Structure 1
């Protein structure tokens, strides 16, 4: 029977990089997955390990490249790491690197950013995916997973088909909240990846927050359009947004009305809205 495809590597390689510029420190905590493909079929089919790089070695290379490149952005770090495997091992045909970041935000005191103190930022986990084929281009994607945001008004859901299965009432004023997974593909390298990523996320939030939403679908498309306009180095952006529902509570049993003031938060079951917006 043929071996159709194979790849292997090391997952959840955790590394914290500290880049020191005098008293000013920058920190980058990553969980890295490094997967390789190439001339490894005989390890599966003939118990022949002669071409197989040990996964412990794959892990060690992550740490070495981290030590040699403390100041690189995650995007640049992943590309350098992928190329290192290709440079060392001719039997490797392609490398796929995925890095998830644990965010640490710099503390400020008296309006002055502290040079080496940080607090954990748990809203969303940035990630980078880099895929490098020997002799070919690098496919690079950045994004964020589980980034939660909401607005308490300026969102509606109206004029949808109604039939005997429909029980949801129409509304022109509702809360809108989500925990978004978003990713964007790079067609070129920006002057600074962290700055460009911050501009993309800031643009998404600004469109969501400052414009009326006819639906999550309506907002996502316009958010994607704005992100592409703001950062010309990305070719497309994908967003997946599960609704975090807030259901108005019925307080009539207590002689009280509820003018969109008190809600039951729930995330199951949730609407799942997804789209990809690209350049024409």
Structure 2
């Protein structure tokens, strides 16, 4: 039998970096997965570990690079980490680094940012994926589970109908989602953190300020606006479950319900996905 492909590495390497600049400190917490591909087939097929870098060593490299690069944003840190494996180990042909960020937001005390106290931001988890060889390096940024909604200015009508269709048309419904989004960089922006924030804020502005004919309609216009706002990204992929809010029937109680009281449910949910690019 043939070994078709192989890779290995270390997952869930958790590391917190603290950059101290006088009394003001910056915290960056990451969960890192580093996977190596290269001259390791013999370990699978011939009981030969001579070329294999211990996964404990992979973990140590993550920690060492973290110590040497306390202030780098996630994308830049991932690029340095990938380069370290390629530069240090000739048997490594390519590396895939996945970095998931735990978001800490600086506290505001008395109306002023506190220098070293933070609260956890649970809305979405930023991530970065670095895929690197000695010939090329690709950087993808994104966020998972980023949740937002609007209570009106959304509709669903004029869709295809047959004998299996039961949902009623509406021009006024709630629209909510927990978005997974990723964007591929064609070149490095001046500042990754600023560019990432601009991508999200641009998409949210489109969502909030324009009528949504469907989730599909909103996603396309959100992605198009993000590409226009940040020229350094090549394309953007969006995946959005439609978190449903079902109008509760209050007629048995002699009450009306003009889009005021709903049953939140996310199972089953619609799943809408698309990629928008420049070509």
Q: CA deviation at 1:279?
A: 0.2
The gaps in structure 1 that reach 5 residues or longer are none
The aligned counterpart of 1:59 is: 59
Distance (whole Å) between structure 2 residues aligned to residue 168 and residue 131 of structure 1: 43
Distance (whole Å) between structure 2 residues aligned to residue 190 and residue 178 of structure 1: 28
Distance (whole Å) between structure 2 residues aligned to residue 137 and residue 38 of structure 1: 15
Q: CA deviation at 1:110?
A: 2.1
Q: CA deviation at 1:8?
A: 0.3
- Alignment of 1:209 with 2:208, yes or no, is yes
- Spell out, residue by residue over 1:101-143, the C-alpha distance to the aligned partner (whole angstroms, 9 max, x if none): 0111111022211111100001100000001112x11111000
Distance (whole Å) between structure 2 residues aligned to residue 100 and residue 110 of structure 1: 32
Q: CA RMSD in A?
A: 0.5
- 1:43 is paired with a residue whose SS is helix
Write out aligned runs for 1:189-200 (5 A): 189-200=188-199
- Alignment of 1:70 with 2:70, yes or no, is yes
The gaps in structure 2 that reach 5 residues or longer are none
The aligned counterpart of 1:164 is: 163
Distance (whole Å) between structure 1 residues aligned to residue 20 and residue 156 of structure 2: 50
The aligned counterpart of 1:102 is: 102
Distance (whole Å) between structure 2 residues aligned to residue 46 and residue 236 of structure 1: 42
Distance (whole Å) between structure 2 residues aligned to residue 43 and residue 162 of structure 1: 57
The aligned counterpart of 1:87 is: 87
The aligned counterpart of 2:248 is: 249
- 1:47 is paired with a residue whose SS is coil
Structure 1 stretches of 4+ moved >2 Å: none
- 2:56 is paired with a residue whose SS is helix
Write out aligned runs for 1:83-232 (5 A): 83-134=83-134, 136-232=135-231
| TM superposition score normalised by structure 1 | 0.99
- Spell out, residue by residue over 1:165-198, the C-alpha distance to the aligned partner (whole angstroms, 9 max, x if none): 1110000000000000000000000000000000
The aligned counterpart of 2:26 is: 26
Distance (whole Å) between structure 1 residues aligned to residue 26 and residue 196 of structure 2: 17
Distance (whole Å) between structure 1 residues aligned to residue 236 and residue 160 of structure 2: 29
Distance (whole Å) between structure 1 residues aligned to residue 229 and residue 20 of structure 2: 31
- Alignment of 1:46 with 2:59, yes or no, is no
Distance (whole Å) between structure 1 residues aligned to residue 59 and residue 85 of structure 2: 11
- 1:221 is paired with a residue whose SS is helix
Distance (whole Å) between structure 2 residues aligned to residue 169 and residue 244 of structure 1: 17
| TM superposition score normalised by structure 2 | 0.99
Distance (whole Å) between structure 1 residues aligned to residue 5 and residue 186 of structure 2: 28
